[in-house]
Chains A and B, each alone.
Chain A
Amino acid sequence: MAETKLIVNGNERSVDVDPSMPLLWVLREQLKLNGTKFGCGIAQCGACTVHLDGMPVRSCSTPVAAADGAEITTIEGVGNDDGTRHAVQAAWIEHQVPQCGYCQSGQIMSAVALLRDNPDPTDEDIDAAMSGNICRCGAYGRIRAAIKTAARA
């Protein structure tokens, strides 16, 4: 066990856990932030995507020690500072993207990261940024459309 300091959605948090415990389970079980989902445990599906110092990472395969002192953004903290939805979230609603919705936290986190680095992505850019996120309900077409809408917002 070791104390690890995290800055989660702007708040300083301290947890006393095994340093090799994946960030995913620290977020979900210790910090009760359940929006980030478990899908595969081996960084194959993207359901657990969060931002670590701005970079999208698979929290199921990121030891919490690797996040010591880092800024972490989860789906709960991705909205605008004024409390309104992020343009990506708004576009997700506009295009009625989610079906079961389970993968969508991860999809949104990947999309937000994509648009921050690349405000006007091509289809190929979207393919590259989003192909790490599986959606079993097959909302890919709507995700693509919503990313383009958010890019114009």
Chain B
Amino acid sequence: MGKWTRRGFIAAGVVSGGALMVGVGIREGHRAPKLAKMMTEDGETLVNVWVKLNTDNTITAIVPHSEMGQGVFTSMTQMLADEMDADWNKVTYEQAPAHEAYANYPLGREFLMGDTKVPGMVQDSLNGGFLRIAQSMGLQITGGSTAVRFTGMGGMRIAGAAAREMIVKAAAKTWDVPAKELHTENSHVYHDASGRSEPYAAFAEQAGEYAPPTQPKLKTPDEFKLMGKSLARFDIPAKTDGTAEFGIDVDLPGMKYAAVMGPPVLGAEAEQVDETYAAEMPGVIKVLNKGWFVAVVADSYWQAENAVRQLDVTWSKTGAESLGQSDIYAMLGKAIDDAGGKGKKDISVGNARRAADGAARVYEAEYRVPFLAHAAMEPINATAWVREGKVDFWSGLQNPLAVRDEIAGAFSIKKHDVTVHNVMLGGGFGRRSEADYPLMSVEIAREFDHPVKMIWSREQDTQQDFYRPASISRFKAGLDDDGMPVSWENTFVQKHDPPEASHIPYKIDHQLIQHTEAEHHVRFGPWRAVDHTQHGFFIESFIDELADQAGLDGYAYRRKLLEHSPRYLAVLDAAAEAAGWGRDMPEGRGLGIALVDSFGTVVAQVVEVDVTGPEPKVVHVWCAADPGYVMNPDGFTAQIESGIIYGLTAALYGNITIEAGAVVQSNFHDYPMLRMRDAPGITVKLINSGAKVGGGGEPGTPPIAPALANAVFAATGVRVRSQPIANYKQGLT
């Protein structure tokens, strides 16, 4: 294999018929280890972002992300179209296929361009920032709030700007005028001096002759026409009339239905399956024991589900059968004890121990959070059709390319014999980045010639999840005479992503942040905002306790510790001001504040809580968010609102518990969700600070739990150090 030194490139060419294609890609040799695994074959290249200028002057953006409610088709297309000076009414999108053809460059060229020759194909390096983009974009992962900040900023905008420059160059040549006399608008090129104007498409063929610019000039925010505007989302009309197609809606000729049951104790295997009764039930075609799960395939899903519930399965013993939730919490606590203050270091600045020893006093607290399931509205499902050694697979996926590879690897099939058809996701939140259910679906379908749609019951969806981990975090702060922190020591258990989630925004000279591990059988999965969900609660609760120790309110105390950061202060101030922080509160009400910087976006929230009822009721949430620049204000606001409700649901009610090794909760009656009657009003203030662009899907979630806990403290004097918060009156839950 040749050694590649150039890693990113812009590619262009003209398709037969005259459409111009421009793409931004990445090929092997980069330093992203995750991506390296994707490109195992010589010369394999991932082609990530494409724009097609069609002969009728319409423009198609090809978006390498999944739509799961975040409006990504719209925001990505919006960024591309703006750089291209496109007519928004004539712009549409396609979702990039998760196909070998798309990941392998020579095949990709064939797939996208047919048999057309590509004269202007060049390869050149892009700037260094491209490497980070590749980590998310190349894998086609939708997660980590990456779309706008990585794919959009580094892919869609570059492709759009490159396409525009090539069209302008082509127009200049065709009209024989200097390019600088031309301007572009609404997908047309104008030459004012001669009064000429032509649609972009008139120059597509000529443009395809050129090498694309290696560093196309991007617009500055004052030049934006579409970015920064609340353009209506493409996907919404179909979501109001039942025509939007989700994974569960896939319908194929001759299709049968599968219902499944996984081991109640995760990791167990089905040793024996007594199917005497189930096999005779109406519509049942076959009972399958696959060890790691059992399944029934039937003429209808309802028949399959009824039958699978009648299977008498003997599951193997894993050793976890005696484990209860209190054992797991004890295990987590013991892991911290055993680390003896010598865990793996996240942050070590100054000497926190010595500073605490010399401090006027120390203050300590321990917090914990439970396991959480994702509970997307659309239960997990997938459809597979295995024919002649080839697999067609349909599902809503956050990581379609990885799923393709997982299927190929698990069943020893060539990657290009696996076709993954990604459809809309009825919620993802991290759950749909796992490959368990795709593999399960294919394992069932390969027993048949016809397609099989596997649907999980809500009970399976709840009990066979990859969970936000239960975690414990201990803090010790050294305080000076005024109660201001001189040291911050924190030890927690279970570290995943992102690595900076345990870091604090506050200026404290001596910091020691470390972590340890505890092994148990409850499998981890990324859950909206991942580690930020627990660390947001831990850190922002403890800092609030320190504020109280200093005799200050949470807002004033944070302000003192954020003087070094105007960006944080501005966000904190905006939330506090919107909430009317400091106003007199009636009996039984309180305000709480929290600030979390996650996925490049700084978010502060103020909660007003009413504690006069049996459970705390959140009356209103005021939120300020600074993602650097807001690409689509209404879309971004919707994401923040969503993050708040998602986080608030977990903070108030979320509590997956283990009993006899198995998940206890099964459906919405015992794993409750926030509903309309309990939904607070939400006010969102957006700040365009000009900082590096951050994400939108996740940053709304982390601050809400601590803001609520801090509000409960303000209203009652009771400090809530565990979740779910709805149960705070009963103490630890």
Contact = CB atoms under 8 A, between A and B. Distances in A.
Nearest to B426: A102
Contact of B676 (A35, A93, A140): A140
B411 interface: no
A100 B675 contact: no
Contacts of A102: 246, 376-378, 426-427
Interface string A93-116: 100111111111100100000000
Given A138-B642, A138-B646, A99 B69 contact: yes
A105 B677 contact: no
A34 interface: yes
Contacts of B376: 100, 102, 136
B676 A98 contact: no
Nearest to B462: A40
A105 to B, nearest CB: 5
A96 B634 CA distance: 8
Given A102-B377, A136-B375, A131 B458 contact: no
Contacts of B242: 33-36, 74-76, 105
A21 B458 contact: no
Contacts of A104: 239-240
Given A89-B241, A100-B424, A140 B645 contact: yes
B68 A100 contact: yes
A18 B378 CA distance: 25
Contact of A42 (B70, B237, B458, B635): B458
Contacts of B377: 37, 39, 45, 47, 100, 102-103, 134-137
Given A34-B242, A103-B377, A141 B668 contact: no
B550 interface: no
A47 B641 CA distance: 21
B241 A35 contact: yes
A34 B251 contact: yes
Of B71, B237, B426, most A-chain CB atoms within 10 Å = B426
Interface residues of B, number: 64
B638 A96 contact: yes
Interface size bracket, A side: 35 or more
Interface in B349-387: 375-379
B455 interface: yes
Interface stretch (B164-172, B195-203, B228-236, B552-560): B228-236
Contacts of B426: 37, 100-102
B679 interface: yes
Interface in B208-262: 232-233, 235-246, 248-249, 251, 257
B673 A133 contact: no
Nearest to B238: A101
Contact of B233 (A22, A96, A132): A96
Contacts, number: 176
Interface string A133-151: 1111111111110000000
Interface string A10-32: 00000000100110010001001
Given A98-B69, A99-B70, A102-B246, A138 B668 contact: no
Given A126-B676, A140-B679, A29 B427 contact: no
B298 to A, nearest CB: 11
B667 A137 contact: no
B311 interface: no
Contacts of A18: 282, 303
Nearest to A17: B300
B427 A127 contact: no
B669 interface: yes
Contact of A79 (B68, B241, B251, B429): B241
A29 B243 CA distance: 15
B467 to A, nearest CB: 16
B427 A100 contact: yes
A62 interface: no
Contacts of A97: 236, 240
B241 A25 contact: no
Given A35-B242, A136-B375, A141-B641, A96 B232 contact: yes
A44 B427 contact: no
A139 B240 CA distance: 13
B675 A99 contact: no
10 contacts: A22-B302, A33-B242, A39-B458, A44-B669, A85-B241, A99-B638, A100-B427, A101-B238, A104-B239, A137-B69
Given A22-B302, A29-B300, A138-B645, 4 more contacts: A29-B301, A99-B69, A130-B675, A139-B642
